[in-house]
Amino acid sequence: MEFDSQQLCQRLLLIGDAGWPRSPEPVLLSLRDTAHEELDKTRIIFLGDNVYLNGMPPEAGKERSAAEGRLNRQLEAVSDSGAKGVFIPGNHEWRKSSYKSAAPDFAVRPKAEAKFIHARLGGGADFRPQPGCLGPDYIDLPGVRLIIFDSALLIDRLATPDPALAKDATGANPASFFQSLSELLRTGGDRKVIVLAHHPPATHGQHGGFYDFRDHIFPLTRLPQTHWLWAPLPVIGSLYPAVRLAKNDPENLSSPAYQEMNKKLLSAFRAKPPLFYAAGHEHNLQILTGSKAGSYILVSGAGSKTMLTTATHGTDTIFSHLHTGFMALDFMRNGDVLLRVIEPADKEGHSIVAFSKWFKGHRG
């Protein structure tokens, strides 16, 4: 089926975990050029972890300059394309100590990032939901409703034993969040609904407990500071996945709070599941059949070459690739949807389409 740009209603470009880019970063150059093709109809969605490793420090912070540089490369991709951007918080937007609402620096780093984005691009980009808020926030575009939430904060609040602290900056708690989410799904009308967050409900990467030979033999290549160091550590390396699984990290799907989030999401989706659930978190590219979590789960967290991690296959895998890239969703006037995985082919950012699939007549 041929693509007819005259029938294009809305284009979404989905890229996550772009917070440690090279200079230049080929995937951001490819993103810029793709966005420019239909700039008036395009939103670039950054799916969290936009600033590694600890989010945007305050202006007087010693890591501020490096953080600004990493975020600036993403902002330049937006501004140079002429399209609009949306930045979603991930777990690296936060420091663990700043999750707690009783802490004096609650949400200071997400707030600093949102302020920097607005100062640079004004109305050309949004930070959603508002810093320190669970959401769900939403954006209605031609033919599509985007529902956005802070999954990192939600996981923390679900793990908080004291109900008085299990709130966001507005006083909302997980119960009210899931109630609002159900309402936004129900009132989408004929729009196709896309749920956007940082944490995916399913994955065949490290956060799902999947590892490959590289994790066991060359574990230093999985760290951003030493991604270039192919030093074989066959025995020590096997401790890396073992420790990650054993410490019950809340960022892993196996953690109780993450499982609780998924359970409650599935309950909220029961009446009207979204067409797509798009996330980052895993530093690879995966397309999965979504079952109850939506028709399809899109994991698009390969926004930086220095951050790539394991991508394996499962029975629900449609596509999986360990490569930098992003995903494009084209919503057509007749209800068809085109999904593509776009990857840079060289250091100049020239693109190839690694995967393409039409979904016929998906409405609502």
Tens of pLDDT, residues 130-177:
999 999 999 999 999 999 999 999 999 999 888 888 999 999 999 999
Q: What is the pLDDT of residue 331?
A: 96
At 106 the three-state DSSP class reads: coil
The answer to whether residue 244 scores a pLDDT higher than 80 is: no
Contacts of 176 (CB under 8 A, 6+ apart): none
More confident residue, 254 or 213: 254
53-67, 225-239, 250-264, 305-319: least confident range? 225-239
Q: What's the whole-model pTM score?
A: 0.90
CA nearest neighbour of 182 among 268, 260, 266: 268
Q: What is the pLDDT of residue 128?
A: 98
Token readout for 295 is 């028709």
pLDDT (mean) for 3-30: 94
pLDDT (mean) for 12-36: 96
Give 346: exposed, middle or buried? Use CB within 10 Å, 0-12, 13-18, 19+: exposed
Asked if 298 contacts 214 with a C-beta cutoff of 8 angstroms, the reply is: no
Give the chain's domains with CATH numbers: 5-359 (3.60.21.10)
At 87 the three-state DSSP class reads: strand
Helix ranges restricted to H, the chain? 26-37, 64-81, 108-121, 151-158, 174-186, 213-217, 234-246, 256-269
pLDDT band at 23 (very low <50, low <70, confident <90, very high): confident
Residue 53 corresponds to which amino acid?
A: L
Tens of pLDDT, residues 320-353:
999 999 999 999 999 999 999 999 999 998 999 9
Asked if 17 contacts 80 with a C-beta cutoff of 8 angstroms, the reply is: no
What proportion of the chain, given as a percentage, has pLDDT over 70?
84
Asked if 228 contacts 254 with a C-beta cutoff of 8 angstroms, the reply is: no
100-109, 136-145, 170-179, 230-239: least confident range? 230-239
Asked if 185 contacts 134 with a C-beta cutoff of 8 angstroms, the reply is: no
Tell me how far apart the alpha carbons of residues 257 and 194 are, in angstroms, rounded to a whole number: 23
The answer to whether residue 122 scores a pLDDT higher than 60 is: yes
Cis peptide before 338 (omega within 30 of 0): no
210-214, 249-253, 287-291: least confident range? 210-214
